[in-house]
Amino acid sequence: MKEYLIVGTDVKVGKTHVICALLRDLRAGGISACGIKPLECGDRADARALRAASESGESLELFNPVYLRAGAEPGVAAELERRSLAADIFCTARDRWNPAPDIMLVEALGGWLVPLAPGLTQADAAELLNAPIILVVGNRPGAVNHTLLTVQDIQRRGLECCGIILNHLSDDWDSASLTNRKVIKDSTGLPILAELIHGQDEIDSSFLKAIH
């Protein structure tokens, strides 16, 4: 199985939308693929979307094993339910799949450094998973700063950020949305793997085959 961790620079940048588009293209090409969201807060809409795009009849709990009802930061939401989140949350969710698909896309929650517990962030969980990372960037003002900070910490931890998917969050094309692609590519040295205009729900997944 090949696995990839799909991370966003922030909340509401379209990670689930991007993953679902990738899953549809992979499965249309005859590749066994699924998307999971190990941790979800507030509701399970993302997990349901991933299950639908994976064309699976498996239980929602397999796609989203840890669900917290409060729409808050996960550490806070867990505390409200008197639960604890562990650093192996991504690994545990992945290991529940038997048989495993050819490709698994693991969706992170919110931004890179979201706290899971005192002294524990989502980035720590990503270190244990140690999967190639694809960064989804919402193309809006401030995207460059968010991208650079995220990429710098990913690389500081010795993890591989394979590239960036730029997602347009609205139909408006302001100065930032017109220039962000070049600035981000030049500043990070990472490839722009895909760029989705607002409302686009198709994506070529062939770049996944080139990531080792």
Sign, CA dihedral 62-68-69-70, equals negative
Query: What tokens were used for 7?
Result: 């991370």
Query: What tokens were used for 62?
Result: 């397999």
Residues identified as active-site: 37
Q: How many CB atoms lie within 10 A of CB 127?
A: 15
In one letter, which amino acid is 159?
Answer: L
The pairing of strands 103-107 and 2-8 is: parallel
Cis, bond preceding 38 (omega within 30 deg of 0): no
Unique residue bearing structure tokens 């038997």: 98
Q: What residues pair up with 121 in beta bridges, in sequence order?
A: 115
